[in-house]
Amino acid sequence: MDINSSIGELKGIGAKTQSLFEKLGVYTVGDMLLAFPRDYRQFPNPAKIAELVPDRECAVFAKIAAPPAVTGARSLSATIAKISDDTGVMEAVWYHMPYLKNTLKMGSSHMFFGKVSWKSHRFVMEQPAIYVPEQYIEFAQTYQPVYRLIKGISNNLYKKAMKQACSVLTSDIEFLPQEMLTRLELLPYHQAVFQMHFPENLDKLQAAHDRLAFNEFLLFLLSMQSLKENRERKKNQCLIRDITVAEAIVKKLPYALTGVQKKSLEEILADLRGEYCMQRLLQGDVGSGKTIIAFLAMAVAAANGYQAAIMAPTEVLARQHYETFCKWCEEFSLNFPVMLLTGSSTAKEKKELYERIKSEDSALIIGTHALIQEKVNYRRLGLVITDEQHRFGVRQRECFSEKGITPHILVMSATPIPRTLAIILYGNFDISVMDELPAKRLPIKNCVVDESFRKKAYSFIEKEVSAGHQAYIICPLVEESENMEAENVTDYARRLRQELRTDISVACLHGKMKPKEKNEIMEAFLRREIQVLVSTTVIEVGINVPNATVMMIENAERFGLAQLHQLRGRVGRGDAQSYCILMNLSNSKQAKQRLEIMNNSNDGFKIAEEDLKLRGPGDFFGIRQSGMMEFSVGDVFNDAKILSLASKECKRICANEDLLRSDDYHKLQVVLADYQKSQSGNINI
């Protein structure tokens, strides 16, 4: 067996289980080894019954105090046993496990682990796992992996299969030169992969994480360098001469542009009239007004006879841009064709749009990934804009830009990136930063609260809904997962309908839904047919719902601050006062310190800088940052030091043309080629 072997060769994985793993994207032993845990957990130290805390997972060493009894019919049976220690008595309940009546002998002692609740004046532990004390103590001293699961695959089954898969890990899979490993003090690759799954301790887990993050960053940066070398600055073939349309629109705006909006617009217009094609990143904090700047740039291109296209990551956002641009064209008396092309456009609509795109000059074209399909042929594409650009691969944008002569490229991001990281990640882009909010925007009022505030929070949401507003509630997970206590969307929405008034419409939204279903829910929320939307982080992409005034984030301690700031940016987009409620369910001092940064500031760039200062070992626990780059292990915020190290190594390698061709670097060259091929549409920046 090797890394290319089918997972069907692993013991205990039959055809049915193999098909379930394949739904998770795991086909080979190598796939399984790279499907790293989504989290780790430590079992708590054993406690006495009198010391237990309701609604927490606990471990108790206790004896069977009375013979277990089985109640109910076979399909709904419950095995109930009284267990006790020298401080008290509690009840243990197992569902659909009647055989335990014969296994659990009166007077026998075991370690029981499970979630404890307080019912009928006593503690109850439902579905507890049963361990031999020595086995449990061994578990409690290690970090246990928690995997992404699918119905039919338990975490225990996954761990057993993974232990077998790890048998193929040898030094032969190493692809970095030994000299580099020694100099940078990096863990060998095969050891890093094993430690990511079954870490001996926190130090080994951190070292494994750092090595794998370094791999991702180095391959990414070398690929970006290759793209940069193959795409030297090209002469401006779409020369813009007349910018009066932008000046005229700015004069007619019902508000004044902020200082940073004016500066960014000037930089973009200078690029459009410059000697070389524009390659610029427009980095604007949430709510800073990037869309009007994008529209002005597109209007200038159209006024000079060129087509301008903007690609959004979701159909809802693309449709919002389309409706906004149509309104602005009418308000400012602009006679430019405005077109919308998305994946859900009918075959007839697509055929008509393809013809219009191929024939009409000066068009403003809005769409999703449908804009870069092979059938789309542009007449005179002079400006390409990607909105929320972190959602698109580099090569996707390359494909988009190749649709024109040599069009100008503007990429937009609402993720506040500290300048130190931006220089590394966007070395081949000029950068415009918009870190100032329009004067009319009311600052969002923030509060960090604990579980005791929940009822008040729900009452506050009811009050805002009664005033005609809407609310978001964000949960970290889609559905209940084994060994995870974080709030999940589906169960939460069900409970919330019971907590709130019956006249309040509650819906849930998550990434596992089909695109059509997600679009329908967001459209209904936009139309105010849904008052409270319980969602995962899928709503962080810049959807504009001015009527939403409350953002409540459950388990806020599990999110990176950059992502929390992105989520908070979904409210505060209208004239009404908006609020962000951060529910902190952790007792960690560091979690409290980090959330206080959010509580005290609405400045995304300041938050990102402060967040970097606080980060240290072990920050890969919890939910990763998102909203900028999609790496499997590395995170540009959490692992900023590793990113910097990889950047220096990339520069060292690229400065020596013969290095990659040497025998020592042969394996790295092979892996890099495979990486570039596999990531042809997914190398995200």
Q: Which of 348, 300, 340 is nearest to 320 (CA)?
A: 340
- Give pLDDT tens digits for 178-196: 999 999 999 999 999 999 9
> In this predicted model, which residue has the larger pLDDT, 293 or 510?
293
Q: Of 185-189, 409-413, 425-429, 535-539, give the lowest mean pLDDT range.
A: 425-429
Using DSSP bridges, classify how beta strands 579-583 and 548-553 pair: parallel, antiparallel or unpaired: parallel
So what's the pLDDT on residue 262?
Answer: 96
- Please give the structure tokens belonging to residue 536: 């995962």
Is the whole-model pTM more than 0.75?
no
Cα torsion at 316, 317, 323, 325 (round to 10°)? -160
Residue 130 has pLDDT above 70, yes or no: yes
Categorize the per-residue pLDDT at 57 as very low, low, confident or very high, splitting at 50, 70 and 90.
confident
Alpha helix segments (H runs only) across 4-87: 15-23, 29-33
Cα torsion at 370, 372, 375, 378 (round to 10°)? 110
Q: Under a CB-based contact definition with an 8 Å cutoff, are residues 61 and 97 in contact?
A: no
Measured between alpha carbons, how far apart are the two ends of the chain, in Å? 36
Strand partners, 409: 279, 384
Q: Under a CB-based contact definition with an 8 Å cutoff, are residues 462 and 525 in contact?
A: no
In whole angstroms, what is the distance from residue 77 CA to residue 94 CA? 9
In whole angstroms, what is the distance from residue 64 CA to residue 286 CA? 58
- Give pLDDT tens digits for 572-625: 888 899 999 999 988 778 788 889 988 988 888 788 777 766 655 444 554 444
Using DSSP bridges, classify how beta strands 39-41 and 56-64 pair: parallel, antiparallel or unpaired: unpaired
Categorize the per-residue pLDDT at 175 as very low, low, confident or very high, splitting at 50, 70 and 90.
very high
337-362 average pLDDT score: 91
Query: Phi, psi at residue 499, to the nearest 5°?
Result: -80, -40
User: Helix, strand or coil for residue 440?
Assistant: coil
- Give pLDDT tens digits for 513-570: 887 888 889 889 989 999 999 998 877 565 688 899 999 999 898 887 878 888 898 8
The topology (CATH level 3) of 445-614 is Rossmann fold (3.40.50)
256-269 average pLDDT score: 94
In whole angstroms, what is the distance from residue 270 CA to residue 274 CA? 6
- Please give the structure tokens belonging to residue 467: 């005033």
Counting Cα atoms < 13 Å in the Cβ hemisphere of 534 gives 24
User: Helix, strand or coil for residue 622?
Assistant: coil
Mean residue pLDDT of the chain comes to: 86
Distance of CA 531 to the CA centre of its chain: 25
Q: What is the CATH code for 43-127?
A: 2.40.50.140
Q: Could you give the C-alpha distances from 67 to 34, 79, 129, 133, in angstroms and in order?
A: 46, 10, 18, 21
Residue 438: which residues within 8 A CB-CB, separation 6 or more? 255, 258, 287, 288, 289
So what's the pLDDT on residue 392?
Answer: 45
So what's the pLDDT on residue 627?
Answer: 43
Residue 682: which residues within 8 A CB-CB, separation 6 or more? 393, 630
Return the number of other C-beta atoms located less than 10 Å from residue 456's C-beta.
11
The topology (CATH level 3) of 255-434 is Rossmann fold (3.40.50)
- DSSP state, residue 37: -
In whole angstroms, what is the distance from residue 77 CA to residue 67 CA? 16
3-state DSSP percent of the chain in helix, strand and coil, to 5: 45, 20, 40
So what's the pLDDT on residue 478?
Answer: 55
Query: Phi, psi at residue 675, to the nearest 5°?
Result: -60, -45
User: Helix, strand or coil for residue 532?
Assistant: strand
In whole angstroms, what is the distance from residue 93 CA to residue 126 CA? 5
In whole angstroms, what is the distance from residue 401 CA to residue 399 CA? 6
Residue 449 has pLDDT above 80, yes or no: yes
Categorize the per-residue pLDDT at 626 as very low, low, confident or very high, splitting at 50, 70 and 90.
very low
Q: Under a CB-based contact definition with an 8 Å cutoff, are residues 41 and 144 in contact?
A: yes
Q: What is the DSSP string of 144-204?
A: EEE----TT--HHHHHHHHHHHGGG--GGG--S-HHHHHHHTPPPHHHHHHHHHS-SSHHH
| Domain segments of the chain as ranges | 1-40+142-166, 43-127, 169-232+650-685, 255-434, 445-614
